[in-house]
A and B are shown apart, each in its own frame.
Chain A
Amino acid sequence: MYYDLNVPWTDNQREMQRAIAFLDELGYDVVALTHTLSGKIPSDHTSPIPATLPFTVPSRLRILRRCTLLLTDSTTNNKLPDLRSSYDIVAARPTSERTLQQACQTLDVDIISLDLTQKFETHFKFPTLGSAIARGVKIELCYGQGVGTQDANRKRLVIGNATQLIRVSRGRGLVFSSDARSVLALRAPADVINLASVWGLGRERGKDGLSKEPRSVVEFARLKKESYRGVVDVVYGGEKPAVVERQQKGQKGQSQQQQNKRKGDNLEKGSKKSKVQSAK
């Protein structure tokens, strides 16, 4: 199972559909469409991403909704918990060192995503990032900005920042995602793993960054949203299955019966043979 937890959402349906089809073609299983918010969160904010998309989605692909909040000031985001009701994943993108520290230590988010194309004033410090990783908040590395451009300067910044983050986080708790502004910046999982290993993370850790770590993000976010205080979740409450399900079950039963029939045929033949033999 491969995850791409950062695909920017656009209103352009054709483009969105194409991007999703291409992600399926590349071999991703779970994709999160990202809506980026900046500034203060309005009190009646709802997600612009519809729960069911207006076009056909490949059957294997699971689509999630994610919100990335730009943290410019450490005081404006007290409505952050409200976002959980309309999104599956909540991420924060700190812009300064203070907001980064706040996001790592206290904010209730799932992912901390850093804009790798900008130059940071200070080096990242392990105590800051380590506290996030210890809390189970993952750090996101977006390769799309570096891979999809011709701009050499951006490429350099992305590579530099990514290697920095890998070094400081000691390779733990990293999530790779695309953040691709156009379809052309999307890459297949194997290519991303290779990129990670060239950046000094190693093949195994790179694979974790596309499968294990994002899976834990998705599952924790789901638990936070649906369960009671993130601890108790009712998986099956003993309800009777709906009528539609029953029909499906009936079909399954039929197919099983057919299979049984086949087996039965064989058995019958066998038994006939044995009968014949016994008669002889």
Chain B
Amino acid sequence: MVRVKYRYLIVNYLYPEPSSDQKHPSHDAVPQLIQFHRPTPDKFDSRALYQAIRQAVTELFGDYGMGMVGQGLKINYHSTATSTSIVRCPQAHYQMAWAALTNMTELGKLGIPVVIRVVRVSATIRHAEEEIIRRAKDIILRAQGGEDTVGVSDIVRAAAASKRREDEEMVVEESDASDDESE
């Protein structure tokens, strides 16, 4: 049986700059890791994201790109609390959608500066889900200070960091292997 093939992009929103309401000095007490991974405003819902992606694709690739990507574009999952989304796009042209996301500098029309990072390209939504759960656990551990606290020996910390990097390196490779899996 033939089915339409998609790619699922797991998207993370990172905020390298302090937000305008948090600029006063007490804000410095918040660890930088949490500042970077802070929640996205609720105003930026899945519809706003959909519109923003469409606009970015049109900006970068014009009508041709919109025609290629627009058909299969869908927001499968959008969580403002964890700043994570799953974006579905056609398998043949997922790179276009990815490049458009890379070129975005603001959250839709809200004007909040953001760096959008695609953390995984997956062929099935199940793998995307598993990856999101793994990452969420990972970041909670890091925020609790598994990696950066003083007192933990350097070797343990370095090992944790290098393992994290290894996990992050497999952005696309693994998903190609799981290509033939049925949904």
Q: Which residues on A are within 8 Å of B, measured CB to CB?
A: 18-19, 21-22, 25-27, 29, 59-60, 147-150, 152, 155, 183-184, 186-188, 190-191, 193-195, 197-198, 203
Contacts and interface: CB of A to CB of B under 8 A. Distances in A.
B102 A148 contact: no
B165 A27 contact: yes
Contacts of A148: 105
B113 A194 contact: no
26 contacts: A18-B16, A21-B36, A22-B14, A22-B16, A22-B115, A25-B36, A26-B117, A29-B165, A59-B154, A147-B103, A149-B105, A183-B16, A183-B17, A184-B17, A184-B114, A186-B16, A190-B117, A190-B118, A190-B171, A191-B102, A191-B117, A191-B118, A194-B99, A194-B118, A195-B99, A198-B96
Given A22-B16, A183-B17, A190 B172 contact: yes
Interface residues of B, number: 31
Interface of B: 14, 16-17, 32-33, 36, 59, 95-96, 98-99, 101-103, 105, 113-115, 117-119, 154, 157-158, 161-162, 165, 168-169, 171-172
Contact of A198 (B32, B95, B165): B95
A22 B14 CA distance: 9
A194 B33 contact: no
B117 to A, nearest CB: 5
Contacts of B59: 152
A28 to B, nearest CB: 10
Contacts of A60: 158, 161-162, 165
Contacts of A25: 14, 33, 36
Contacts of B103: 147, 155
B117 A184 contact: no
Given A183-B16, A203-B172, 9 more contacts: A21-B36, A26-B117, A149-B105, A150-B105, A184-B17, A190-B117, A191-B117, A194-B102, A197-B95
Contacts of A190: 117-119, 168, 171-172
B16 A184 contact: yes
A140 B115 CA distance: 23
Contacts of B169: 27
A147 B158 contact: no
A19 to B, nearest CB: 8
B102 A187 contact: yes
Residue of A21, A184, A190, A203 with highest tally of chain B CB at under 10 A: A190
Nearest to A60: B161
B172 A18 contact: no
Contacts of B95: 194, 197-198
Contacts of B102: 147, 187, 191, 194-195
A198 B96 CA distance: 7
Contacts of B118: 188, 190-191, 194
Nearest to B171: A190
Contacts of B101: 191
